[in-house]
Amino acid sequence: MKTKTICFLNNKGGCGKTTTCCNVGYALAEQGYKVLLIDADMQMNLTLSYFPEETVLALAMGDKNIYDVIKNKGTIQEKISSTAYPNVDLIASSSLMSGIEYELLTRWQREYILKNAMQELVKSEHYDYILIDSPPTLGGWVMNILCAADYLLIPVEASPWGLFGIANLFEFLEASKQIAPQLQVLGVVVTKADERKAYLKQTLEALKDLESTYVFKNYIHVDSAIEWAQEASKPVLVHKKNSRSAAEYLALAKEMAIRCQ
Ligand SMILES: Nc1ncnc2c1ncn2[C@@H]1O[C@H](COP(=O)(O)OP(=O)(O)OP(=O)(O)O)[C@@H](O)[C@H]1O
Ligand SMILES: [Mg+2]
C-alpha cells in the first residue's frame, strides 16, 4: 500500500489534535496497518503519549528527534524510535524547537524541508500511514507540515469557542494551496463532545455551514479515561480497552481509512 501522510491541524489550542493523532494512530495499527507518528510540536505531547517523561527529555536533548532532521543532522529514518507496540513507531519532537520560525527564514525552499526529508521514507512504502501532530500555530513550520502531507484532519472541540477562528484556518488553507496543491482536507472531527451540553448540537449545526468540508460521522465524547491514559503514557485503547473513547477512536480510524482510499 502506498504511504498516506495525514496531518492533524487546528491553530486553536487544546482542541484534541494530539489526543486524536495518538489514538487514531494506535487504532490504525490495531487494524493491521504499519504506522509512523511524527511529533511536530515542541510541546512534545505526542511523544509524552507514548513514552515516560525521562525518555521524552532524553529524546528532546539528544539527536533522535525531528528538529535534528530540519537542521540537516541526519536522515529522518535515523530519528525513528520504536514504541512498546510493534506496528507503531514515533519520531519525537524537541522542546529546543522554539526558534524554528527564525531558522526557516534563511533556508532555501523553506516550505519543503520536511517534505524533502520525508521523500525517501515515503517512497519506500514501509509505513501505511504517517500521522503528523501539528502545533497550534499557522506559520512557516506548519506550512512545512502541509507541504509534506497528503491529507489534513481538523479536530474541533465541541465548546462555545470551538469554532471561533475556523474561518481564518480555512483562509490560510486556501492560500497554502499555492505551495501545497496536493493537500486534501479529509474532514473535521468533533472532539470532547458532551451530550448534556447544548453546544454539542450548536457545533454540529454550525459545521453544516462548512459546505464543502466533510464532517466525520464518528465523534469523540469527553472521557476521563483519556486523561488517565495520557498520565500513563499509553493510548486509551491500551490503558482502558473497554472505554467509550477507545471504541470511538477505533470507529473513527476505520472511517478515516475508508476516506483515504
Ligand atoms: N475526549 C476527551 N475527553 C477528555 N479530555 C480530553 C479529550 N480530548 C482531549 N482531552 C484533553 O484536552 C486537553 C487538550 O487535548 P490535546 O492536547 O489533544 O489538544 P491539542 O489540540 O493537541 O492541544 P495543543 O493545541 O496545545 O497542541 C488535554 O489535556 C487532553 O487530555
Ligand atoms: Mg497538541
Q: Atom 31 of ligand 1 has which residue's CA nearest to it? A: 227
Proximal ligand: closest to the CA of 230: 1
Average pLDDT over residues 3-14: 97
Q: What is the pLDDT of residue 162?
A: 84
Q: What is the pLDDT of residue 260?
A: 93
**Ligand 1 atom at shortest distance from the alpha carbon of 21:** 18
Using the mean position of ligand 2's atoms as its centre, give its distance from the Cα of residue 24 in Å.
14
In short, whether 226's Cβ falls inside 6 Å of ligand 1 is yes
Q: What is the pLDDT of residue 160?
A: 86
Does the pLDDT of residue 125 top 90, yes or no?
yes
User: Which one of 9, 12, 19, 219 would you pick to mutate in the ligand 1 pocket, going by the greatest count of ligand atoms within 8 A of its CB?
Assistant: 19
Q: Nearest Cα to 67, choosing from 153, 164, 135, 155?
A: 135
Cβ–Cβ < 8 Å for 112, 106: no
Tens digits of residue pLDDT in 17-55: 999 999 999 999 999 999 999 999 999 999 999 999 999
Proximal ligand: closest to the CA of 190: 1
Considering the chain, what is the average pLDDT of its residues? 96
Tens digits of residue pLDDT in 216-245: 999 999 999 999 999 999 999 999 999 999
Average pLDDT over residues 239-260: 97
CA–CA separation, 37 and 39 (whole Å):
6
User: Whats the size of the chain, residue-wise?
Assistant: 261
Q: Nearest Cα to 9, choosing from 180, 188, 216, 246?
A: 188
* Grid cell at residue 180: 501545497
Q: Which domains does the chain have, with CATH numbers?
A: 4-259 (3.40.50.300)
In short, whether 140's Cβ falls inside 6 Å of ligand 1 is no
Q: Nearest Cα to 17, choosing from 43, 35, 53, 36?
A: 43
Using the mean position of ligand 2's atoms as its centre, give its distance from the Cα of residue 80 in Å.
20
Q: What is the pLDDT of residue 212?
A: 86
Using the mean position of ligand 2's atoms as its centre, give its distance from the Cα of residue 259 in Å.
23
Does the pLDDT of residue 193 top 90, yes or no?
yes
**Ligand 1 atom at shortest distance from the alpha carbon of 12:** 25
Does the pLDDT of residue 208 top 90, yes or no?
no
In short, whether 188's Cβ falls inside 6 Å of ligand 1 is no
Q: What is the pLDDT of residue 164?
A: 87
Q: What is the pLDDT of residue 115?
A: 98
Average pLDDT over residues 50-66: 97
Tens digits of residue pLDDT in 161-189: 888 888 899 999 999 999 999 999 999 99
Tens digits of residue pLDDT in 86-115: 999 999 999 999 999 999 999 999 999 999
CB burial of 121-159 (b: ≥16 within 10 Å; e: otherwise) equals bbeeeebbbbbbbbbbebebbbbbbbbbbbbbbbbbbbb
